[in-house]
Amino acid sequence: MSGPKNKESLPCPYWDVFMVIRLKKIKYDINVTNIRKNISMVLDTHRSILFFI
């Protein structure tokens, strides 16, 4: 866990901004991994279709 150890070490507005940025980054990372999984699944299905033809 990066960042401050406890909420009290930062003023509230800064803490809120910090958390929003972290949540956005986490969502972005999840989206990227999902897109990669989807692409690999599509490629796998195409390979199997080509294999069966």
pLDDT in tens, 1-53: 455 555 556 566 777 888 888 999 989 998 999 999 988 888 888 777 776 65
Its pTM stands at 0.44
For residues 4-27, b (16+ Cβ closer than 10 Å) or e, as one string? eeeeeeeeeeebeeeeeeeeeeee
- Which pLDDT score is estimated for 1? 47
- Which pLDDT score is estimated for 25? 92
- Which pLDDT score is estimated for 24? 92
